Structure 1
Amino acid sequence: MIKKLLPPLGVRYGDFDKYRNYDMSTIHARFYRDIFDKYMANGTHYVTSVRDPADQWESAFHQFNFRRVISKAVNGHEQMVIINSSLKVPFNKGNSTLDAINEFLRKPKVYHNDLKQLGEVVWHFGHNSQMFDLSTDLTMDQIQNETLVNITINKLIHELDAFIVAEYFDESLLVMKKTFCLTFTDILYVSQNKRELKNKLPETTRTKIRDWNRADTLLYSRVNESLWKKIHSYGPDFQKDLKYFKNLLLEVESNCSLPLHKRPFKLNHKTYGKTLKPSASLFCKMVAGHFADILKRVVDKQKSQHI
Structure 2
Amino acid sequence: MKIIAAVREPFSRFVSAFQYFGEYHQTVRSRAHISGNSVALMREFLKNPEYYEPHDFKQGSLAYNRMAFDLGLPKAQYSNSTFVDQYIRQLDEDMSLVLIAEYFDQSLVLLKRIMCWSTKDILYQVRHKGRGKPEIPEDLKITHRQLAPAEYHIYEYFRTKFITIYSKEVDIDEEVEVYKETHNKVNKFCSSRSKRLVVQPTKFDNGFTFTQRDCYFMRLEETSFVKYLSKLQEP
TM-score higher than 0.5:
yes
1:130 and 2:67 aligned: yes
Give a deviation string over 1:146-191, Cα, whole Å, max 9, x none. Answer: 1100100111111111111111101111111222222222211111
Aligned to 1:214: 149
1:73 and 2:31 aligned: yes
Query: Aligned-pair distance for 1:296?
Result: 4.2
Aligned to 1:115: 53
Give a deviation string over 1:172-222, Cα, whole Å, max 9, x none. Answer: 111112222222222111111222333332343223223321101110000
Aligned to 1:19: none
Aligned to 1:240: 174
Say whether the 8 Å CA contact 2:43–2:140 is kept in structure 1.
yes
Aligned to 2:216: 285
1:100 and 2:41 aligned: yes
Aligned to 1:56: 13
The separation in 2 between residues aligned to 1:185 and 1:289, in whole angstroms, is 16
SS at match of 1:193: coil
The separation in 1 between residues aligned to 2:20 and 2:233, in whole angstroms, is 32
SS at match of 1:230: helix
Structure 1 residues 238, 128: CA separation in 2 closer, same or farther (over 3 Å shift)? same
The separation in 1 between residues aligned to 2:31 and 2:136, in whole angstroms, is 24
In structure 2, runs of 5+ residues without a counterpart are 194-210
Structure 1 residues 126, 239: CA separation in 2 closer, same or farther (over 3 Å shift)? closer
Give a deviation string over 1:124-166, Cα, whole Å, max 9, x none. Answer: 2353111111125x2x121210110010011111111111111
Structure 1 residues 68, 199: CA separation in 2 closer, same or farther (over 3 Å shift)? same
Structure 1: which amino acid aligns with 2:43? Answer: N
TM-score, normalising length: structure 2: 0.81
In structure 1, runs of 5+ residues without a counterpart are 1-43, 75-88, 260-279
Say whether the 8 Å CA contact 2:7–2:98 is kept in structure 1.
yes
The separation in 2 between residues aligned to 1:220 and 1:111, in whole angstroms, is 21
Query: Aligned-pair distance for 1:59?
Result: 1.8
Say whether the 8 Å CA contact 1:112–1:127 is kept in structure 2.
no
Say whether the 8 Å CA contact 1:47–1:163 is kept in structure 2.
yes
Say whether the 8 Å CA contact 1:127–1:212 is kept in structure 2.
no
The separation in 1 between residues aligned to 2:41 and 2:93, in whole angstroms, is 38
Give a deviation string over 1:56-104, Cα, whole Å, max 9, x none. Answer: 1112222333232223333xxxxxxxxxxxxxx422xxx1101111222
The separation in 2 between residues aligned to 1:57 and 1:175, in whole angstroms, is 26
How does 1:142-161 map onto structure 2 within 5 Å?
142-161=77-96
Q: More strand by proportion, 1 or 2?
A: 1
Say whether the 8 Å CA contact 1:135–1:152 is kept in structure 2.
no
Structure 2: which amino acid aligns with 1:238? Answer: I
Structure 2: which amino acid aligns with 1:90? Answer: I
The separation in 1 between residues aligned to 2:50 and 2:17, in whole angstroms, is 13
How many residues align? The count is 218
The separation in 2 between residues aligned to 1:114 and 1:143, in whole angstroms, is 18
Structure 1 residues 193, 102: CA separation in 2 closer, same or farther (over 3 Å shift)? same
Structure 1 residues 296, 229: CA separation in 2 closer, same or farther (over 3 Å shift)? same
Please say which structure displays the higher CA radius of gyration.
Answer: 1
The separation in 2 between residues aligned to 1:289 and 1:167, in whole angstroms, is 23
Aligned to 2:4: 47
Give a deviation string over 1:21-59, Cα, whole Å, max 9, x none. Answer: xxxxxxxxxxxxxxxxxxxxxxx2111110111011112
Q: More helix by proportion, 1 or 2?
A: 2
Structure 2: which amino acid aligns with 1:113? Answer: Y
Structure 1 residues 135, 290: CA separation in 2 closer, same or farther (over 3 Å shift)? closer
Q: Report % sequence identity.
A: 23
Aligned to 1:90: 34
Structure 1 residues 182, 174: CA separation in 2 closer, same or farther (over 3 Å shift)? same
